[in-house]
Structure 1
Amino acid sequence: MEKSWAALFALCFGFFMILLDSTIVQVAVPSLMTGLPATLNEVFWVNSVYLLTFAVPLLLTGRLGDRFGPRRLYLAGLVIFTAASLWCGLAQDAPDLIAARAVQGLGAAALTPQSMAFISYLFPTNRGAAMGAWGSVAGLATIAGPVLGGLITETLGWEWIFIVNVPVGIIAIALVLWLVPNWQPRHSHRFDVPGIVLSSLGLFAVVFGIQNGELYDRTTIAAVLATGGVLIAIFLWWQHKNPNEPLLPLRLFKNRTFSFGSLTGVLIGFAMAAMFIPLMIYLQSVLGMTPLETGLFMGPMSVVSAILAPFAGRLSDRIEGKYIIIVGLLAYAAGIGSVAVIAQPGLNSWALVPGLLLCGVGIGTIFSPLSSTTISGLAPSLIGAGAGIYNMSRQVGNVLGSAAAGLLMQIASTELLEAARITMLLPALVLLGAAFTAARMRKELVAAH
């Protein structure tokens, strides 16, 4: 058991780094706009392209891990991510940085499903505690990004939020080689090339259409969004008709808990991405905080989340996880909703602390139970595909949330405060929807085949 926990530590070390980069850029938005320089839309693409190339391949990389070994895919992802991080730090203009972030996302996609699949192998029993640790890392990384991003941006410059990944990535590679067993599930999967192409192009078109809604005429944007919708519809039809092994096994969604857990993951990802950028812009551009002050101000939220997540994971071994998830979602919605309602110019920043602490409570009690509950009942041969779909659901939500936040902020960019307030109300409403979908989950017996 000690070896299992040591292996989980090594896996979480790299997992923390790649999730950190989902949010670490957001606190550096004003610095990127002046330092590169970059337009607001280009800065949103720096964030969105990472989330997009992170999300789209997850269905494929989960299968690749099943076939070629999770440790091999995890290490490949770490190498790609680390090299791309150096490229990001050396980027000379916005298009260069966007390209480097796209490659970073591909590395993250190769790595992420493997960490979750390994938990099912390393912890055949007492999985809730392991998921608690994994969920603690996921929640902490997501909200620690602004803290570390603010510290690094102000003291070293925005480039170093990427360059710092290089030594961390090297350490992560060494830990995985040392502590993680070379587990080989050796499930012989066929690879659905049409499915990969259709899902990638469809999701890209939807995100492009949402995020660039203010840059092109309505007819063009409507055509792009319609194209994305048609491609996704064809993708789903193909998954149903595919006589070989589909990229998205629709039979997984016969499991009610997996279906509603994945949908809840989409909504949570949407809310988290839509929350941070307007919050960072409000704190810095309206209240006048520096990046460092902004990061430190977010610190207590990170601490609360990190403390609660392991307890939430253990508790989900004892009671039905959906009840813990619902409480967390309602707390999170109340927290960000209260911040949006009271946000004003010249506001004493301490007035925001109760709402942000509620956000920390919510985040800390969501990830662990949702992860373990969603994949409960899946057959061992479907764990890789299930982990890929579950992780993809949250990342797809991140992509759509980032794009929607970008659109709302740009629509009202001349009224920055009002734009930030409206955009922060959006995730609060989405989280209420997530509480409803989480309530539809139910405890499943673990499949034995």
Structure 2
Amino acid sequence: MLHTKENVARAVAITGLAAFMAGLDNLVIVTALPTISVELGGALNDLEWTVNAYTLSFAVLMMLAAATGDRFGRRKVFVAGLLIFTGASAAAALAPGIGWLIAARAVQGVGAAVIMPLSLTLLTAAVPERKRGAALGVYAAVSGVSAAAGPLVGGLVVQELSWHWIFWLNVPVGLLLAPVALWGLADSRGPNARLDVAGTVLVSLGMFGLVFGIVSGHVDGWSSATTLTMLTGGVLALVLFVWWEKRTDEPMLPLALFRNRAFSGINVASLLMGVGVFGAIFLLTQFLQTVQGYDPMQAGVRMLAWTAAPMVAAPVSGMLADRFGGRPVVLVGLVLQTLALGYYAVVITPTVSYAAQLPAFVLAGLGMGLFYAPIAHVLMGSVREDEQGIAAGANAATRQLGATIGVALLAAVFSGWGGLESPQRFVDGLQPALWVGAGAMALAVVAMALVPRSQVVAQEVR
């Protein structure tokens, strides 16, 4: 397909909308959790799994999905992912109990794992290199903001309709996008590699063990048999995953990629950014409702300063990355997010005013907008063209793993220091959790700062 303006615009629209839908469902459910808890039952750890079931399957299957697209055709596999996501959304909307909902969310994550990396590689193939930074900026403005927009969209839908419609709304969008993608996107393939099923199983078991162990730790105790078994089993599975990836001829994640310090720095920063942002959003949306008494829509509206700012900052950051390089823009974005969570931890009280919370929301939103587009820009320039599919999958998986770990870790800190018994107990747990999130963001700044500037420049102009 030629790189005409119409084809480029169509590719941006299709891939951006699909990525927005997949990204939105990361946290679209969080403002509905109090309502879901009443209707379907479930303790805090069950509510965590309505988020983590999605982000975990999303994360661990992304690299396999990218490799599958490389082998069988990215457009065909992308459409299959859209249909899986759509069907699972309908199943979630029909959930009669919390267990059903968690299972449907896990299948939704499978579809999202296909959509996200392939949308990026399909877009990259459709856009000429000289315009790639701006196109990725638009894509990032749509897909990057989707996770943060989740609380607003979820709150609005729950308030005006019901929590079931959070998922029903995906169905017509998915059914429309599937045929449009078949018609409007050019197909592409990567190396005809063998699928690494063993590697996928090992990394899936490893991450499930770690996340389950963290969730179990603040429910059953950190010295309980369940917690220790899951944490130990998770670590062992990840060690075996690394051992296997070094020895198999066709690894799902070529470890040689991490010899590239730019690639490694991007992924470490993405992981830590996911820990801080997603864990904080999970807790803060509940703080606004359970402590400050806002209904779901009011809570979502009050987070609009966080969710709207990336829409402005992300396209601008893509153009800045084209002109000045992605590294400094990413660093500024990470610093702003660190300051946002640190500031929030300082001012948080049960009766803190919205005006006092607003600077944190604005800083966090601007920081997210300055992060997503340059990260995608540097990532695509840091690897060979035939490695872009697996690199996109690895980076998106890293962010999702950070989100999964962040929700589990910050919820564990929250439960260890506080609880749901009273507004003050909630804040007693929320404050140290926010400091942990800010610490993760500060480490992300360090990771990105340690990436050699000369290497990033060379990759971006290559």
TM-score by structure 2 length? 0.94
The 1:265–1:277 alpha-carbon spacing in structure 2 relative to 1, beyond 3 Å, is same
Tell me the CA shift for residue 255 of structure 1: 1.5
Q: Name the residue aligned to 1:177.
A: 182
How many pairs does the alignment contain? 447
Contact 1:379 1:447 in 2 (8 A): no
Q: Name the residue aligned to 2:387.
A: 382
**Aligned mates of 1:58, 1:293 — CA distance in 2:** 34
**Aligned mates of 2:266, 2:190 — CA distance in 1:** 27
**Match of residue 426, structure 1, among 432, 436, 439:** 436
Tell me the CA shift for residue 177 of structure 1: 2.7
Tell me the CA shift for residue 378 of structure 1: 0.9
Where in structure 1 do 4 or more consecutive aligned residues deviate above 6 Å? none
**Matching of residue 227 in structure 1 with residue 238 in structure 2:** no
Q: Name the residue aligned to 1:277.
A: 282
Unaligned runs of 5+ in 2: none
Contact 2:63 2:393 in 1 (8 A): yes
Q: CA RMSD in A?
A: 1.6
**Aligned mates of 1:185, 1:148 — CA distance in 2:** 35
**Matching of residue 135 in structure 1 with residue 140 in structure 2:** yes
Contact 1:59 1:247 in 2 (8 A): yes
Tell me the CA shift for residue 304 of structure 1: 1.4
Residue correspondence of structure 1 range 16-415 to structure 2 within 5 A: 16-125=20-129, 126-181=131-186, 183-185=187-189, 187-217=191-221, 218-220=223-225, 221-242=227-248, 244-411=249-416, 412-413=418-419, 414=421, 415=425
Contact 1:133 1:309 in 2 (8 A): yes
**Match of residue 11, structure 1, among 15, 26, 48:** 15
**Aligned mates of 1:370, 1:296 — CA distance in 2:** 28
The 1:262–1:279 alpha-carbon spacing in structure 2 relative to 1, beyond 3 Å, is same
Tell me the CA shift for residue 444 of structure 1: 5.1
Contact 1:273 1:402 in 2 (8 A): yes
Tell me the CA shift for residue 141 of structure 1: 0.5
Q: SS state of the match for residue 302, structure 1? A: helix
2:324 partner amino acid: I
**Aligned mates of 1:347, 1:364 — CA distance in 2:** 26
Tell me the CA shift for residue 214 of structure 1: 2.6
1:159 partner amino acid: H
Contact 1:377 1:446 in 2 (8 A): yes
Contact 1:11 1:115 in 2 (8 A): yes
For residues 292-350 of structure 1, the C-alpha deviation after alignment (integer angstroms, 9 at most, x for no partner) is 10011111222211011001011101112111111111111111221222111222222
More displaced, 101-110 or 138-147? 138-147
1:231 partner amino acid: A
Tell me the CA shift for residue 138 of structure 1: 2.4
Contact 2:122 2:188 in 1 (8 A): no
Unaligned runs of 5+ in 1: none
Identity %: 33
The 1:448–1:321 alpha-carbon spacing in structure 2 relative to 1, beyond 3 Å, is closer
Contact 2:329 2:370 in 1 (8 A): yes
Q: SS state of the match for residue 189, structure 1? A: coil
